[in-house]
Amino acid sequence: MIKKILIVDDSPVARKMLKKCILDQDQYEIVEAIDGQEGVDKFKEFSPDIVFLDLTMPVLDGYDALKQIKILDKDAIVIILTADIQPKSISTVMEYGAYTVIKKPAKVQSIKDIIQKADNKLKGIARATDEY
């Protein structure tokens, strides 16, 4: 079950908008990071169930942050939330192991659906692990 969410975006407005799209916020522990490097550092400390990650950020961009997160946890569920929806950008992040790509600005229903889908995936992982 999803309990911890990490939001990585250099825009405070984008982070605030995403948080508004997350329904029942009180059931989640939400941590924010303002650039890719801080996102990787908080990923290590916080061990989130899912990560919402922007691509265009200072210090460390979302592409490199995604690669580092996937090295830390190959099963990490990283949702790219970006205005950059060029086919090359999407294919690159999917090759790097992104769970999916959502176009900014996010819609409440899109965020609700992806959280539910990710939650189902986590439950599947938990069940598979429990069987061994």
Work out the pLDDT band at 126, boundaries 50, 70, 90: low
pLDDT value, residue 129: 43
Q: Tell me the Cα Rg of the chain.
A: 14
Nearest to 101 by CA among 120, 123, 84: 84
Does residue 50 have a pLDDT over 50? yes
Q: How many domains does the chain have?
A: 1
Average pLDDT, the chain: 90
Work out the pLDDT band at 30, boundaries 50, 70, 90: very high
Q: Show the domain range for 119.
A: 4-131
The residues near 87 (Cβ < 8 Å, ≥ 6 apart) are none
15: left (phi over 0), alpha (psi -120 to 50) or beta: alpha
User: Can you read off the two tokens belonging to residue 107?
Assistant: 């819609």
**CATH code for the domain in which residue 107 is found:** 3.40.50.2300
pLDDT value, residue 35: 97
User: What are the start-end ranges of the H helices in the chain?
Assistant: 12-21, 36-46, 62-72, 87-95, 108-131
Does residue 124 have a pLDDT over 90? no
- Answer whether 64's CB lies under 8 Å from 36's CB: yes
Work out the pLDDT band at 74, boundaries 50, 70, 90: very high
- Answer whether 101's CB lies under 8 Å from 80's CB: yes
- Within 10 angstroms of residue 74's Cβ, the number of other Cβ atoms is 8
Nearest to 73 by CA among 107, 47, 52, 110: 47
Convert the pLDDT of each residue in 75-111 to its tens digit. Answer: 999 999 988 888 898 999 999 999 999 999 889 999 9
User: For residue 130, how many C-alpha atoms fall within 13 Å in the half-sphere facing its CB?
Assistant: 6
